[in-house]
Amino acid sequence: MNELIIELTEINPRDFFGLQNANINLIKNYFPKLKIVARGSKLKAYGDEEELELFDTKLTMLLDQFAKYNKLDENTIERVLQSNRREEYESSASSGDVLVHGVNGRLIKAQTANQRKLVDLTKKNDMVFAIGPAGTGKTYTGVALAVKALKDKEVRRIILTRPAVEAGENLGFLPGDLKEKLDPYMQPLYDALRDMIPHEKLDSYIEKGVIQIAPMAFMRGRTLDNAFVILDEAQNTTHAQMKMFLTRMGKSAKFMITGDPGQIDLPRRVISGLKEALLILKDVDGVGMIYLDDKDVIRHRLVKKVIAAYKEIENRN
């Protein structure tokens, strides 16, 4: 009797196996000639070599499906196991405006006209500036595009960075190692990633360097090839930092720069590298720029009113 052992890595076996092994029990119905045992993170199958080869193929398709959409249900399993070719089980949701199937099958898509323009602009340009106030989805849409590029194998890694500038506060001495000191600055990036990539896989990606989250200072001297790179909170970069970052671009790379020129936390008399770059690069071919506004705010309805109220005061001044 032949044996096939498949170990599930970077995913939670319980999510794949289903509640009380419901998914595995359904799969067993399609392979009555095999003895299939699910234990821990391993799936073992015993039987005929030809039958095991078919089982291996179908299970790989199911694992691909789970990796892409982060869920597996009865309809999906039956569609995959009954299909003759890989193309037959691809969900229609993979086309259209869905960027990523997030955790628990959550559909992550551009929700406003300007966010959709940002998606289109990123397809046409290798460097894109997304400018707008808080809550307009600049960073979130950017991270979704990066995760999509990684899943579609258009890039090999995602690099997320932001300047570690305190927003008008003195955080004082922060205990812990370097990662623990920097994590508070990077939290919005972690939050977006956790919506889009299951916990185990995200930890694995970070551990292997497939996803890197680092402050601006760590970009110096690097050449960023085959990567989707996002510079967040770019309004807090200096002239030197912005120039350094933009010249890190390597082959087959996508750069996205997001920021809000209305929330600059730099010391007085220090020119924002973002404001300067928008003027210098506005006519450069291959560089796209999109300006989002309060109509793109997708947080609490009061955020829109807060932005409008502040804008009115600023215009008066």
CB 31 within 8 A of CB 46: no
Domain that residue 142 falls in: 98-316
The pairing of strands 254-259 and 227-231 is parallel
Of the residues 52, 69, 94, the one at which a domain ends: 94
Cα 68 to Cα 91: distance, rounded to the nearest angstrom: 10
Nearest partner of 132 among 115, 146, 155, 119, judged by Cα? 115
Residue 52's pLDDT is what? 92
The answer for residues whose C-beta is within 8 angstroms of residue 222's C-beta and 6 or more apart is 248
Distance between CA atoms of 247 and 106, rounded to whole angstroms? Answer: 36
Q: What is the pLDDT of residue 176?
A: 63
Res 171: pLDDT: 47
Cβ(149)–Cβ(202) under 8 Å? no
Question: What is d(CA 100, CA 200) in angstroms, rounded to the nearest whole number?
Answer: 17
Q: Which CATH number covers residue 87?
A: 3.30.1370.10
pLDDT number for residue 79: 77
Q: What is the DSSP letter of 87?
A: G
Number of domains the chain is built from: 2
Enumerate residues 6+ apart whose C-beta is below 8 A from 55: 4, 31, 34, 36, 45
CA atoms within 13 A on the CB side of 96: 11
Res 86: pLDDT:
52
Domain of 182, CATH number, reads 3.40.50.300
Measured N-to-C along each axis, helices 138-151 and 113-124 cross at an angle, to the nearest 10 degrees, of 40
> In this predicted structure, what is the pLDDT of residue 218?
84
Nearest Cα to Cα of residue 293 among 132, 112, 137, 128 = 132
User: Among 40, 75, 94, which residue terminates a domain?
Assistant: 94
Q: Are residues 135 and 249 in the same domain?
A: yes
For residues 104 and 232, state if they share a domain.
Answer: yes
Residue 105: its pLDDT value, please? 73
Render each residue's pLDDT in the chain as its tens digit; 317 residues: 789 999 888 788 888 998 889 999 999 999 999 999 998 889 999 999 999 999 999 998 898 888 777 778 887 788 788 776 554 444 433 445 788 888 877 888 888 889 999 999 999 999 999 999 888 889 999 999 999 999 999 999 999 998 876 544 444 555 665 566 667 778 888 899 999 999 889 999 999 999 998 888 888 889 999 999 999 999 999 999 999 999 999 999 999 999 999 888 888 889 999 999 999 999 999 999 999 987 787 766 677 788 788 888 878 87
134 and 47 inside one domain: no
Full-model pTM? 0.68
Contacts 24+ apart (CB under 8 A), 90-94: 93/69, 94/68
Tokens representing 256 are 């996205």
Whole-angstrom distance, CA of residue 279 vs CA of residue 298 = 28
Residues 131 and 89 in one domain: no
Do 214 and 259 fall into the same domain? yes
Report the relative pairing of strands 254-259 and 127-131 from DSSP bridges: parallel
Exposed / middle / buried, residue 280 (Cβ in 10 Å: 0-12, 13-18, 19+): middle
Choosing from 62, 94, 126, the residue where a domain stops is 94
Closest CA to 14 of 37, 35, 41, 44: 41
* Number of neighbours of residue 138 by Cβ within 10 angstroms: 29
Distance CA 280, CA 258 (A): 16
What pLDDT is attached to residue 24?
92
Q: Quickly tell me which residue has 């790989």 as its tokens.
A: 60
